[in-house]
Structure 1
Amino acid sequence: MAGYAEIASHYRGLIRSGELRPGDRLPTQRQVAQDWGVANQTVRRAFQTLKAEGLTTATTGGGTVVAESGSASVADRVANHAATGRALARNETSTILEIASVGVDATVAVRLDVEPGTPVHMRRRLVTRDNVPVHMSTSYYPSFVVEAAPELLEPVSTGGSRELVAERLGVAQDQAVNEVTSRQATDLERDALGFTGSATVTQVLRTVFLADGRVIEVAVKVTSGARPVVYTEGLNGGAA
């Protein structure tokens, strides 16, 4: 008899292969129990696993659908801000969770070209789409960024922090280097993203450069997923 992990793996594969797309409805738990010949409790645990991984979400009618495929890329945000004056989509909201001056660790320090432990400005925020958590991001800004946009010191969303800074400095964003890895979610991430129990998340360590070569932001974005890769996005209309 199949266990919950096998059932979860089956639907996880359908989602990741694209056979089940965002918004597609999964069979009811009763139907899955009948098809697999298992108890309702087994199916319930399988569905809870998929939800914890951010692959599915519950609907108002009580069913389960495939979740949206995650947050937009930096390039998408830049293009959306240029077109609408807002980096987020209309159905997205950014909530500031924490603002502080922190000493950066070695991972962030080398990308900001400062010594480990150097105090920099940190903003942690949660982005939701249709009231469902999409990702949590922790951004680290060098001092010249905060001097250009002191609004970043306030616990309110600017609707496009990097875009605001680039406009103030008169220098366009040029590219973002994204280093993507998978790991287990921390307690803070599980609480913010609504995961239950242990969950695998994707961490995107992002370094954003201005056209003059300066680093405008180093950010750690956490969402669901599992694919280690490094890629670069052109942000100013040219090839990366």
Structure 2
Amino acid sequence: MKYVVMKRLTLAGCVVAALAGTLSACVPLVVGGAAAGTALVATDRRTSGAQLEDEGIELRAKNRIDSNLGTRVRVRVNSYNRQVLLTGEVPNLQDKQLVEQVVSRVENVVSVVNELAVLDSPSLMERSSDLLVTGRVKAMLVDARDLSSNAFKVVTERGTTYLMGRVTQREADRATEVVRATPGVQKVVRIFEIISEDELARMLPAPDKSQPATSKPAGG
């Protein structure tokens, strides 16, 4: 297994999983941009600034790839906490290296994991299969009650599922176990920023220790 130390969970993946019949009936699906966006910002382990920077990195990187290489490549750009994952296909090794160089120069990019394949672009059926696998993985992470599904970003290309996120070693190992058991997953590549259990505890909201006041009966 490839393990790079250094799934934001999108509604699209949940919708695909629900349509495929893989999302547990007990899991609520909230549709609505404002509500969903607020929930993701609140539960994401990145700072709000890092989340905005990741969105900007993805947009700028994609625009620069299109400007420099046009339609001869098919590249997906995913950024998590300023670490960029490149997946897709390019016609030759030179273009693979060029894409990485272009993306590494984008503002705020800390590192680049280049998983581009020198292959022909996949068929529509293969892309649909990858989308379905991603939906299944996200559903499995939601159903794993000992994991926070929003801590993981999930990308699938040609049967290989990539996991990104800021997680503890315990969470990394548990998520890998869950994803390996997901139908359709051929290989798991982990691109995690490992944090300590203490760091995770500081990220979590403090428990509400307030108790409702009890009133004494009159004359007691």
Return the TM-score normalized by structure 1: 0.24
Q: From the two aligned structures, give the one with the greater helix fraction.
A: 2
Larger relative contact order (CA 8 Å, sep ≥ 6):
2
Return the TM-score normalized by structure 2: 0.25
